[in-house]
Amino acid sequence: MFCHYSKKRTLSFWIFPFLIKLASLAKISFIVGSYCALFSATSIITPLTGAFSGITGTCIVFALGLAAKIVEGSPLLSFKFLAYIVPGFCASLYWSTSSVVVRALLPLACMMAFIVHPAIGVGWVYSLYWLIPIALYFVKKQTLFVQALGSTFAAHAVGSVIWLYAQPMTPQTWLALMPVVLIERLAFASGMVIAYHVISYAHKLYATSFLWKKMSLLHNN
């Protein structure tokens, strides 16, 4: 699986809280059903924690997010925390492990939770999007884009279920969102691929520069 290959490019998890905070300043679009909640570039950067820092880095960055909320005095079970932190954590886990639990059973559980909601009605069709990460689990060639697409739809599944139970919308609204979701998730997946290459290149330059300086010091000595 691709995640094992990506771990060869291990980056310190300490860089990701900074990148995530920076990405949060880049607002992308309003979340339908809200007048103040927005998607930001964190939907692109946060999942890459798993690609570069593995499960350990993912958990530590998530724990740092929890600590920040505690310091701010925000309730940990608030809608804002669940909607913004948990989906990104799940997306990051998707990159960091090939476990069937994260890659297939989690989206399946989200589908079930979505379909059984009493207010969803014909809107259950919306949850068919989450067959995508389940199907991608069985794809043998785990390319960067396949990883990114599965990751962003895993986050979408978790986030949509949280939204449904916290901020219910009409079945018609969910159905109307389906074309938007397709464009949105393809854009996020493409953004992850680009960001992955940029971070990899930056890390390579840093490592090369660091090694060059070290070798120069040894030579001078």
pLDDT digits (tens, 9 = 90+) for 96-118: 999 999 999 999 999 999 999 99
Q: Which domain holds residue 211?
A: 2-220
Is residue 205 exposed (0-12), middle (13-18) or buried (19+ Cβ within 10 Å)? exposed
**pLDDT at 13 (0 to 100):** 66
Name the β-bridge partners of 30.
Answer: 38
Total-model pTM: 0.81
Q: What whole-number percentage of the chain has pLDDT above 90?
A: 47
Tally of domains within the chain:
1
pLDDT digits (tens, 9 = 90+) for 40-53: 678 888 899 998 88
Calpha distance 152→86 (Å, rounded): 13
User: In angstroms, how far is CA 146 from the centroid of its own chain?
Assistant: 14
